[in-house]
Amino acid sequence: MRLRIEHTTVFHYAEPISEAYTELRLHPFEAAGQRCLRFSLETQPVGEVMIYIDRYGNTVHHFDTLQPHDKVVVTTSSEVHTPRVFVSDEMELSPLDQFDYLAPTTYAPEDERISQFAMHDYVEGDPEATALGLMETLYSSLKYEPGATDVKTTASEALSLGSGVCQDFAHLMLAACRSLGIPARYVSGYLYSPQTLRDREDAGIIVPANAASHAWVDVFVEDRGWLSLDPTHNSWQTEQYVRVATGRDYSDVPPTRGVYKGSAKEELSVNVSVTAI
C-alpha cells in the first residue's frame, strides 16, 4: 500500500523564548519491507537541520532556533510504501539488545500485578502463543479511553485505571511480555483507517477515518524474529501501519523533544492525516 502522511506540530509559547533545541523522530522507517519514497521537513522559523541515526536505528532530525520567538511550526510530509505483512529482517538479538528489550523501564516497570496478569496467558515453551494471548487479553480487558491517561502514564498506572490509549496498551504489553522473559520493543508510527470504525464498540468510541499517530509492540521469538502486534486493535501489523521508530518504551521514540531558554509555558498542537494514494 502507498500512503501519504502530513504531520504538523505547532509549539506555542506564552511569551518569547530563545535558544530552543529540538529533536524529531518523524521520518518513516526503511526496513522489513517498508520504503520511504519521499520525505520533506520544514521549520518556521527556518533553522539548520542536522540528521543522525540513534542507538535503535531511528532517523533523528535536530535543529536549533536561537533567536527570540513565541512559536515554532514543524511540518513533515511523507510518502511510504508499506508491505502487506510485516516480515522481520532480524533473526537474532545481540546480548545488548536482549538486555534492553527484557529490562524494566520507566513506562514499562517491573510490577508484580502485571506479572500475575501476564501469567494467565503464559504457554510454556511457546512465546508466540503467549504474546498472542496477551494481545487478545489486553484488547478485551482494557478500556480504550482518550483523556484517561497522558504521555507520562506508566503501565502500572494504566493497569490500575483499567483504561488508556494506544501508548498504554503498548506499555502494558511490553511489561507483561518482559515479565515472562519475552523480549519486546515499543513501536511508534501511524495507522491508516480507510473507513470510520469503532475502536471499542463496547465503549462507543469512534475513531475518525484516516486516523493518525499510533503505537504498538514488537515481540521477539527465536527462529521467527520480530512479530509486530497491536494490542489496541488485537491485530497483527498490516499494510495500514507505517513504522517510524522503535525503542525500549515511549521515552526512546517521542515524535518531538527539546529544551529552551525561558520560563514561558509551552502549548503543543498536532495535526496528522494519513491517506492512501
3 state SS of 86:
coil
Question: Would 241 be classed as within a structural domain?
Answer: yes
Same domain, 231 and 263: no
Same domain, 185 and 205: yes
Same domain, 48 and 115: no
Question: Would 145 be classed as within a structural domain?
Answer: yes
Same domain, 264 and 248: no
Q: What's the pLDDT score for residue 195?
A: 55
Residue range 58-102, pLDDT digits in tens: 999 999 999 999 999 999 999 999 999 998 989 999 999 999 999
Give the residue-averaged pLDDT of 138-165: 96
Same domain, 27 and 106: no
pLDDT at 204 over 60: no
Torsion sign, CA atoms 269, 45, 19, 188: positive
Domain boundaries, position 50: 2-82+255-276
- When divided into structural domains, the chain yields a total of 2
Residues 6+ apart with CB under 8 A from 164: 142, 143, 144, 145, 148, 149, 153, 158, 172
Residue range 94-136, pLDDT digits in tens: 999 999 999 999 999 999 999 999 999 999 999 999 999 999 9
The CATH number of the domain where 114 resides is what? Answer: 3.10.620.30
Q: What's the pLDDT score for residue 193?
A: 83
Residues 6+ apart with CB under 8 A from 269: 9, 10, 12
The Cα diameter of the chain in Å comes to 59
User: H/E element holding 207?
Assistant: strand 205-207
Q: What's the pLDDT score for residue 212?
A: 84
How far is 38 from 255, CA to CA, in rounded Å?
18
Question: Would 89 be classed as within a structural domain?
Answer: no
Question: Would 40 be classed as within a structural domain?
Answer: yes
The CATH number of the domain where 44 resides is what? Answer: 2.60.40.2250
pLDDT at 202 over 70: no
Percentage of residues of the chain with pLDDT beyond 90: 89
Question: Would 87 be classed as within a structural domain?
Answer: no
pLDDT at 205 over 50: no
Question: Would 208 be classed as within a structural domain?
Answer: yes
Categorize the per-residue pLDDT at 197 as very low, low, confident or very high, splitting at 50, 70 and 90.
very low
Same domain, 188 and 232: yes
Q: Which of 77, 48, 79 is nearest to 64 (CA)?
A: 48
Same domain, 136 and 123: yes
Same domain, 121 and 197: yes
Lowest mean pLDDT of 19-28, 124-133, 163-172, 189-198, name the range: 189-198
Categorize the per-residue pLDDT at 176 as very low, low, confident or very high, splitting at 50, 70 and 90.
very high
Question: How many residues would you count in the chain?
Answer: 277
Question: Would 202 be classed as within a structural domain?
Answer: yes
pLDDT at 208 over 60: no
Same domain, 38 and 150: no
Q: What's the pLDDT score for residue 211?
A: 53
Same domain, 24 and 71: yes
How far is 191 from 238, CA to CA, in rounded Å?
9
What is the rounded end-to-end Cα distance, in angstroms, of the chain? 8
Residue range 215-270, pLDDT digits in tens: 999 999 999 999 999 999 999 999 999 999 999 999 999 999 999 999 999 999 99
Q: What is the mean pLDDT of the chain?
A: 93
Same domain, 159 and 141: yes
Same domain, 191 and 106: yes
Question: Would 106 be classed as within a structural domain?
Answer: yes
Give the residue-averaged pLDDT of 33-37: 97
pLDDT at 10 over 80: yes
- Prediction pTM value: 0.93
